[in-house]
Structure 1
Amino acid sequence: MQRIRAVGREAAAKKYDILSAMMAHALTGDPHDQRLVLRLMALITTRYNWQSDELTIGQREIARLWCVDERTVKREMARLRVLGWIIVKRQGARGRVSVLGLDLDRILLDTRPAWPNIGPDYVARMGSETEPAGTGAAPADTTVVPFRRPEIAAEAGLWGAARALLAAEDRALFDAWFAGLADGGVEQGCLTLIAPSRFHAAYLRTHLIERLRIAVRRAGGHVAQIRIEAG
């Protein structure tokens, strides 16, 4: 998936598409998830700068907008960070609020299962927007019976649970980069993963470390660091 930015000549349409994806995703969830997404959409529509990818607003202002107390704001913003939907671009200090950003790629990846509820035209449009150039689906060959890959079940341990989430999220990416990782265990707040080669380890550190962090957080892991070593 390429980096999504709602800027340029078609910026307005892209903004509506992203908000529509969030809306459709929320409507498939339980009331808690619906409220969380609605609260984020309120921040986006009132305070988010699409051009610079910056959300700058204090907890007191958020509490007033959401009609909640500041403790609820802290809890809900923490949930959004765990999901990977919100990232901290610059930590607040000396009376200045933190500068936050949105990971639009992550949002679109998580909301993708709900896109068909909007309509086939939306799926076709967003599919072409989020696939890298040159990777469009080739016409189906009806003479070939597709091979159904077995699902990856969650295994014991933090990495066992995280790898199942990664496989369910994007099986092709999982097979290429995550399936070959071995669990090196957790020690002093650091999860160690063993890659098949130095190139493999370097690629993961450079391009996919954030996706690994999100999967580990969603698996319930509270580690401060993920270290990738070559086997």
Structure 2
Amino acid sequence: MAQINLTGPSAGTQKYDLLTALSVAGLHGKPVFQMSMMRLIALVTARYNWRSNEVSIGQRDLARMWNVNERTVKREMKRLIDTEILVCSRAGVRGRVGAYRLNFETVKRLSDPLWESVGPDFQKRMETQPIGLRSKVVKVDFGGAKSQAPPEALPQKDEGEKGTWLAVQHRLNGEDHTIYSSWYKHLSFSGYQEGEV
């Protein structure tokens, strides 16, 4: 799974939604799972590095934060890794602190049936926002950039493959015009197959 960085203009909302998904999944689980999610949320809000998409903290510091002993920290981290909510990106060996990242696909799987219980606005955001909770991969061809129609002239409807590419450009421009004009507008359409551009 590709790493997702929740940084940029809409990152605040996306982080709150991710934390809401974790908390709702926890609240609908058994008491042990509820405690795991509470501890994970505390870890994420206090120490998660969104730019590098990982958290790196020693067991002693984590035990102090969670008000538990280091054995409980080891057990809790193993539980979070076994359930694939956290993925170990660098093992802690020989005194080095390990690094872990959130597995957005597992968060989606655990919380998806519960989005409606939060509300229709939350459900819509979770279904549409690009925070790594969707499984589709978009392949981009960076070779041979050609200029495309200006974003203001892009159609709202898909009209075959070319219309799909124009709709993609329109959406990217709407999300962040600065990033669109710096990067995306110089890309050229390579292909569209099975819902992937």
- Could you say which TM-score interval applies, normalised by the shorter chain? 0.5 to 0.7
Report whether the alignment pairs 1:16 with 2:16: yes
Separation of aligned partners in 1, 2:62 and 2:2: 31
Shift of residue 8 of structure 1? 1.7
Which residue in the other structure is 2:35 paired with?
35
Which residue of structure 1 aligns with residue 58 of structure 2?
Answer: 58
**C-alpha contact (below 8 Å) 1:18/1:108 kept by paired residues:** no
Q: For structure 1, which runs of at least 5 residues remain unmatched after alignment?
A: 135-231
2:159 aligned partner: none
Measure the CA separation in 2 of the matches of 1:11 and 1:89: 22
**How many correspondences in the alignment?**
134
Q: What value does the CA root-mean-square deviation take over the aligned residues?
A: 2.0
When residues 5 and 117 of structure 1 are mapped into structure 2, their CA distance, relative to the original with a 3 A threshold, is: farther
Q: How far, CA to CA, are the matches of 2:95 and 2:18 in structure 1?
A: 32
Please tell me whether the aligned partners of residues 3 and 105 of structure 1 are also in contact (alpha carbons under 8 angstroms).
no
Match of residue 73 from structure 1: 73
Whether contact under 8 Å (1:2, 1:105) holds in the other structure is: no
CA-to-aligned-CA distance 1:165-218 (integer Å, 9 cap, x gap): xxxxxxxxxxxxxxxxxxxxxxxxxxxxxxxxxxxxxxxxxxxxxxxxxxxxxx
Q: How does 1:157-172 map to 2 (within 5 A)?
A: none
**Counterpart of 1:6?**
6
Q: Is the 8 A contact 1:54 1:101 kept in 2?
A: yes
- Indicate the residue corresponding to 1:164 in structure 2: none
- Which protein has the bigger strand share? 1
Amino acid across the alignment from 1:70:
E
Q: What runs of 5+ residues in structure 2 fail to find an aligned partner?
A: 139-197
Q: % of aligned pairs identical?
A: 42
Secondary structure class of the residue paired with 1:110: helix
Offset at residue 52 of structure 1 (A): 0.4
Change (3 A) 1:2 1:88: closer
Q: Does 1:89 align with 2:107?
A: no
| 4-13 or 116-125: bigger deviation | 4-13
Match of 1:172 in 2: none
Question: How far does residue 133 in structure 1 lie from its aligned partner after superposition?
Answer: 8.2
The residue identity in structure 2 corresponding to 1:45 is T
Report SS of the residue matched to 2:55: strand
Once the two structures are superposed, the pairs formed by residues 56-205 of structure 1 within 5 Å of their partners are 56-129=56-129, 130-131=133-134, 132=136
SS in 1 for 2:29: coil
1:62·1:73 contact (CA, 8 Å) conserved in 2? yes
The answer as to whether partners of 1:4 and 1:105 remain within 8 angstroms in 2 is no
Whether contact under 8 Å (2:59, 2:74) holds in the other structure is yes
Q: Output the CA distance in 2 between the equivalents of 1:61 and 1:115.
A: 33
Q: How much does 1:42 deviate?
A: 0.6
CA contact (8 A) 2:4 2:53 kept: no
